[in-house]
Amino acid sequence: MKKLAVSEVFYSIQGEGQTMGIPAVFLRLGGCNLLCESASWVCDTIEVWRNSKATEFKDVISEEWVERLFNKAHLVITGGEPLMHQRVLPLYLQWFEETYKFLPTIEIETNGTIVPIEYMLSKVSYWNVSPKLENAGEQNRKEVRINPDALKVFTHQENKTIYKWVISDEEDVIEIGRDFGDYITTEQTVLMPAGSSQDELKQTRDLVSKICIDKGLRYSDRLHVVIWNLKTGV
């Protein structure tokens, strides 16, 4: 039996981006191709995706949560970097569809550095792409953080793709235009306030909302932080 490197699975609501507020089963896979330990912000999932377990397909998602998916909850595949598992993910999704006779609405949360294969492009309804800026740390050099070929593929997905940017100050917005402007569109750009706690969000929310108003960009809050603060896995 094939296995998937699973870090955690939980049922909640989507907290960010174009499907914010929709019930979802989150499937977090292990591993990431970027190292953000020296970032100016904290990767709030690093300790989780570093601890994954090879899990048989039948044990990945419980029957209770399969029923949630059947009743229109989304399946959000996240990480780490879930596209590192492109060899196995198609096999899992094929198994899921053959076993349960349906395939849920699928979202992928990715850092945008890996080109998705055709099968994934055909099955994924929403691509939530979060490229990393210079504040991701010195280990993540520009040529590591930015893959023009991958970004062009995501941008070509048009209404399926949004680019989510966590913004601390106006310099972040300048960097987005300078380093990513040739690969992404304004219509697909969503700015979110930096902060992994409610107190931190309060410090950046006014600034980011003002930037969005001034530049005609889309704003998204971080609903999971607003509701649950520092709690993870919810």
Q: Kindly list the structural domains of the chain, giving each domain's residue range(s) and its CATH number in brackets, ordered by start.
A: 3-164 (3.20.20.70)
The model carries a pTM of 0.92
Own/partner pairs, 144-147, CB within 8 angstroms, 24+ separation: 144/34, 144/113, 145/34, 145/111, 145/113, 146/113, 146/179, 146/180, 147/112, 147/113, 147/114, 147/115
Q: 91: buried, middle or exposed (CB in 10 Å: 19+, 13-18, 0-12)? A: middle
Q: What is the mean pLDDT of residues 172-190?
A: 96
pLDDT in tens, 35-66: 776 555 556 556 666 779 999 999 999 999 99
96 has pLDDT over 90: yes
Helix axes 170-180, 198-215, angle to 10 degrees: 60
The tens digit of pLDDT for each residue in 109-134 reads 999 999 999 999 999 999 999 999 98
Q: What is the pLDDT of the chain when averaged over all its residues? A: 90
